[in-house]
Each structure stands twice: as C-alpha cells, then as structure tokens.
Amino acid sequence: MTLRSILLHPDPRLKKPCDYVARITPEIETLAADMLATMYDAPGVGLAAPQIGVLSRLFVMDCEKDPEAEPKPLVMVNPEIDWGSEALNTYEEGCLSIPDHYADVTRPAEVRVRWLGLDGKTHEREFDGLWATCAQHEIDHLDGRLFIDYLSPMKRQMITRKMVKLKRDRARA
C-alpha cells in the first residue's frame, strides 16, 4: 500500500466531474487500498479518488467513531443516491482537501446508496447519521462539488483565500 498525497483546494482537479469505472481491475483494487490507507493515516472518515488526483467515480469511507471497535471500511465504485429522506440533518463538515476549515451543511438525514463493490457485485444500503452525511459529501466530490459550495459566496471566498495562502506557505517551506 502506498500513501498518496491529498490535493488541497483550490485545484482544478477537485472541480471536475469524474468518469465512471468500467470494471473492477487490479488497478482499481490497488487504488482503493491506497485510498483507505491514506484516509486512515490523515486521519479522516472519507476520501474520494479526485482528492488524490484520480478522476474516477470511487470513494472510501469509515465513520466508525468507537476507537475500540473493528474498522468498518467501505469502498464504493460508481455510487448513486437512489433515495434521500425529506428529513434533513445539519453537520459541521470538514474535508481533507480543505484542512482546518469547518462549516454547517444541511443534507438529507438518510440516503439509500447503490454502488459497485470490489467484489464486482451491486450493493445497496441505507445510511443515516454521519454515514449518510459522509456518503453525500464524497459523492459530491465525484461531481466536482465541495462542501464549501453550499456556503455563502463570502464565506467560500474567505476560506479559499486562506487556502491559497496555506498552499503558498507550504510550497515555500
């Protein structure tokens, strides 16, 4: 497994809709393993392929909060939201591509997601709580959308300016 470097906003690759994955190949399996390792290392609860510069519809997540519990990694290829509840939920979201910035985002509280698993089979499952929020946040990444796109233009520009400065400082370091 290889830890991949995570792209930071603003980056044009984070704004592009990603391509569907034609089939599960050894390359996709390696990519998924690298993404899980990178996510756990960060640490984060979700990571989408475009965040490591791969413009394919694939993300990984594990929202298990109990550090004593077994990890519950999920790899979702070509995920689609089949259904979202009318009931909404507001979470303070963050993103590995926008470190140290958090903001409330309101989304459907429950969603049903259909995806292709690494086993080559179609899976379908309902998620709630942080899992539902995370799945929607990650699927947004596959459409080139970030959580700051839900904020007011002023708030979004403020975060983007700070990120530009952070990237400049990191490049100099």
Q: Which of 65, 51, 63, 58 is nearest to 21 (CA)?
A: 58
Q: Indicate if the alpha-carbon torsion angle 157, 44, 140, 12 is positive or negative.
A: positive
According to the binding rule CB under 5 A, does residue 47 interact with Zn ion? Answer: no
Residue 66: is it exposed, middle or buried by C-beta count within 10 angstroms (0-12/13-18/19+)?
A: exposed
Structure tokens, 4: 């991949």
**Minimal distance, residue 137 CB to Zn ion, in Å:** 6
Determine the interface stretch with Zn ion among 71-79, 94-102, 111-119, 149-157 (rule: CB under 5 A).
94-102
137 is in an annotated binding site: yes
Span between the terminal Cα atoms of the chain, in Å: 27
Determine the interface stretch with Zn ion among 11-19, 91-99, 116-124, 158-166 (rule: CB under 5 A).
91-99
**Minimal distance, residue 74 CB to Zn ion, in Å:** 15
Active-site residues, by number, are 138
According to the binding rule CB under 5 A, does residue 95 interact with Zn ion? Answer: yes
According to the binding rule CB under 5 A, does residue 14 interact with Zn ion? Answer: no
7 or 37: CB nearest Zn ion: 7
49 or 95: CB nearest Zn ion: 95
Determine the interface stretch with Zn ion among 23-31, 59-67, 87-95, 160-168 (rule: CB under 5 A).
87-95
134 is in an annotated binding site: no
**Minimal distance, residue 23 CB to Zn ion, in Å:** 26
63 is in an annotated binding site: no
Q: Compute the distance between CA of residue 35 and CA of residue 41 in angstroms, rounded to an integer.
A: 10
49 or 109: CB nearest Zn ion: 49
Q: Compute the distance between CA of residue 111 and CA of residue 104 in angstroms, rounded to an integer.
A: 18
Q: Indicate if the alpha-carbon torsion angle 112, 16, 91, 32 is positive or negative.
A: positive
**Minimal distance, residue 172 CB to Zn ion, in Å:** 25
| Buried/exposed code over 121-143 (b: 16+ C-beta within 10 A; e: otherwise) | eeeeeebeebbbbbbbbbbbbbe
Contacting residues toward Zn ion, per CB under 5 A: 95
Q: Which residues are annotated as a binding site for Fe cation?
A: 95, 137, 141
